[in-house]
Amino acid sequence: MLKFKPKRIKVILINISTIVVCLELLSLGGYGWTKQQLFYTRSQASQPTYSALEETDNTGIELDDSLQLRLHPYFGYTDFKPEEATINNYQFGSPRDYPVLKENDRQYLIGIFGGSSAVAIANTEAQYQIITNTLQQLPQFADKEIIVLNFSQGGYKQPQQLLVFNYFLSLGQSFDMAINIDGFNEVALSSLNYPENVHLSLPNASLMRALVNLGNHQFSDKDLQMAIKTREYHATLRSLQNRQNTCWLALCYMSHEFYNQILRFDYQNFLKQQQKKTSEQLMLDPRSNAFSLFYLNPSDPETTPENLYSKIAQTWVNSSVLMHQTLTSQNGLYFHFLQPNQYYLTQRQFTPQEQKEAINPEQVYAQPVREGYPVLIDAIAQLEQNGVNIFNAVTVFDAESQPVYRDNCCHYNVLGNQLFSQYIANRIVETLQAEEKSATVQTKSKNLAINNP
């Protein structure tokens, strides 16, 4: 029988301990480099969560995620997670059911509109109150109870924000201020409607087709396979992250993180394979409406590849102007922000790690952003001429050296959302201060004219 001498056992234990310590030190270094903090002093807010990772999908709403959506008669589609406490009666991410009516004059209601990036800003506000705290530095907000309401959903694009805005106004919802954060979905998703022969103004054509097919009982084998794969992926990821959050050692945490990345890579490859199989079936047959319970408007015959982004920009402008005019007629304030995106090149310098994670040469949305953003930026002058408080935020991350993007589509990490939220808050405050200063000057001039006829 094999016998181990105490001395040999001691040597083995020392070697094992040395290996574990070395691996722990390497893991500490890896965690510190990627997270910019010490593992043992990490905050609860820095812990990965399943819901946060769900937002990293390309549009905030993927074709396979459409199983968690429902067709909506006014909004195109809406989320469907009735079991979640953070989803309200209209399936928006909010603990409050809509409409939210004021209980007293101290309450100040702010609505946030847009796609998944706007959802992230609303979530950031719920956690850090960046916009609220900045506004309350102004005298007129010092005694106000500011309530920020989320009316945005992943994948929404104009005129969906306008439709949501007007619908809730019709129900009696009031807004003291509306913040519209968009731009990316308008060029990235609207441009993809065109090759599918779906009108540019309609919601994401790929997503709508999946919902329409489901409603018509035309759920394909491909959709079923993607649904099963997605369910397995999310279940495994949720379990993995729960274990990761309980890790006491950096080695434990980073090993789970490594497995996490393998899962992501495997899942993205699966999606690419599924999309490749159907790449020749993108064109929507105009006759398909005849056999469907749902009607999808075909593309405008006047739309061409040459004027595609001009038409998208015009819908963007028209929708924002209408939101502005409606709100200002009710003594409300409207602020519009063109969101930053990594595929619209600015002076921002990416770290090698962020470059690897945030830039994908094969990203289908890269070209629409490069071609569409300049057209939107040119259209800003038209919005300003109509009195819209519009801000071009594409350079908001240029001065930040740390990573701010958390996927290769369009979404920001915690730091990115905080920086963007502070930018939004600062621009609103500056606008209000400038308006107050202008009003004061006008009042003084008027009084001077009265006193010196």
Query: Could you read off the pLDDT of 118-155 as tens digits, one per residue?
Result: 999 999 999 999 999 999 999 999 999 999 999 999 99
Average pLDDT over the chain reads 83
Tell me the pLDDT band of 327, cut-offs 50, 70 and 90. Answer: very high
- Lookup: tokens for 114: 């847009």
Structure tokens at 445: 């001039």
Q: Compute the distance between CA of residue 76 and CA of residue 98 in angstroms, rounded to an integer.
A: 18
Residue 436 or residue 164, greater confidence: 164
CA angle centred on 108, ends 102 and 111, rounded to 5°: 95
pLDDT above 60: residue 396: yes
Q: Is residue 386 part of a domain?
A: yes
Reported as a pLDDT band with limits 50, 70 and 90, residue 314 is very high
| Side chain identity, residue 368 | P
Look at residue 54 in the predicted model and tell me its pLDDT. Answer: 39
CATH at residue 373: 3.40.50.1110
Position 190 in a domain: yes
- Residue 183 scores a pLDDT above 50: yes
Please compute the mean of the pLDDT values over residues 38-56 and round it to a whole number: 52
Given this model, what pLDDT does residue 269 score? 72
298, part of any domain: no
Q: Are 157 and 185 in contact (CB under 8 A)?
A: yes
Alpha helices in 245-330, H assignment, sequence order: 250-277, 308-328
- Per-residue pLDDT band at 289 (split at 50, 70, 90): low
Residue 144 makes CB contacts below 8 A (sequence gap 6+) with 106, 107, 108, 135, 136
Q: What is the pLDDT of residue 403?
A: 94
Question: Does a structural domain hold residue 162?
Answer: yes
Number of separate domains in the chain: 1
Say which DSSP state 9 is in. H
Q: What is the model's pLDDT at position 223?
A: 57
pLDDT higher at 290 or 260: 260
Residue 330 has pLDDT above 70, yes or no: yes
- Each residue's pLDDT tens digit, 207-233: 777 677 666 655 555 555 666 666 677
- Closest Cα to residue 113, out of 186, 58, 64? 186
Q: How far apart are CA 401 and CA 351, in angstroms?
A: 7
Evaluate if residue 59 carries a pLDDT over 80: no
Between 54 and 72, name the one with better pLDDT. Answer: 72
Question: Does residue 64 have a pLDDT over 60?
Answer: no
Q: Which domain holds residue 116?
A: 85-200+303-445
Question: By C-alpha distance, which of 186, 230, 225 is closest to 204?
Answer: 186
Q: Are strands 69-72 and 76-79 parallel, antiparallel or unpaired?
A: antiparallel
The CA distance from 179 to 113, in Å, is 6
Higher pLDDT, 276 or 68: 68
For 83, the token pair is: 């079991």
Q: Is residue 318 part of a domain?
A: yes
CA angle 206, 211, 214 (to 5 degrees): 125
Name residue, tokens 């022969």. 197
pLDDT reading at 368 higher than 60? yes
Among 41-45, 61-65, 418-422, the minimum mean pLDDT is found in 61-65
Which amino acid belongs to residue 136?
Q
Task: Please list, in sequence order, all residues whose beta carbon lies within 8 angstroms of the beta carbon of residue 214, skipping any fewer than 6 positions away.
Answer: 66, 67, 223
Is the per-residue pLDDT at 317 higher than 80? Answer: yes
Query: Tokens for 259?
Result: 């497995």
Please give the average per-residue pLDDT across 25-40, as a whole number. 73
Q: Whole-angstrom Cα distance, residue 35 to residue 413? A: 11
Dihedrals phi, psi of 326, to nearest 5 degrees: -65, -45
Report the C-alpha gap between 376 and 392 in whole angstroms: 10
Instruction: Please tell me the distance from the alpha carbon of residue 112 to that of residue 122, in angstroms, as a whole number.
Output: 7
Q: What is the pLDDT of residue 8?
A: 72
Q: Which stretch, 177-181, 201-205, 351-355, has highest mean pLDDT?
A: 177-181
Closest CA to 358 of 410, 396, 415, 394: 410
Q: Is the pLDDT of residue 45 over 60?
A: no
For the chain, percent of residues with pLDDT exceeding 70: 78
- pLDDT value at position 283? 46
Q: What is the pLDDT of residue 217?
A: 58
On whether the CB atoms of residues 157 and 203 are closer than 8 A, the answer is yes
Question: Beta-strand (E) ranges in 10-137?
Answer: 69-72, 76-79, 107-114
Find out whether 376 and 429 touch, Cβ atoms under 8 Å: no
CA–CA gap between residue 141 and residue 333 (Å, rounded)? 14
Please indicate, yes or no, if residue 440 is contained in any of the structural domains: yes
Residue 12, φ and ψ in degrees, nearest 5? -65, -45
Sign of CA dihedral 62, 298, 169, 143: positive
Q: Between 303 and 33, where is the model more confident?
A: 303
Answer whether residue 109 is part of any domain. yes
Phi-psi region of 387 (alpha: psi -120 to 50; beta: other; left: phi over 0): left
Alpha-carbon span 220 to 103, nearest angstrom: 49
User: Is there a domain that residue 151 lies in?
Assistant: yes
Q: Tokens for 10, please give them.
A: 């001691």
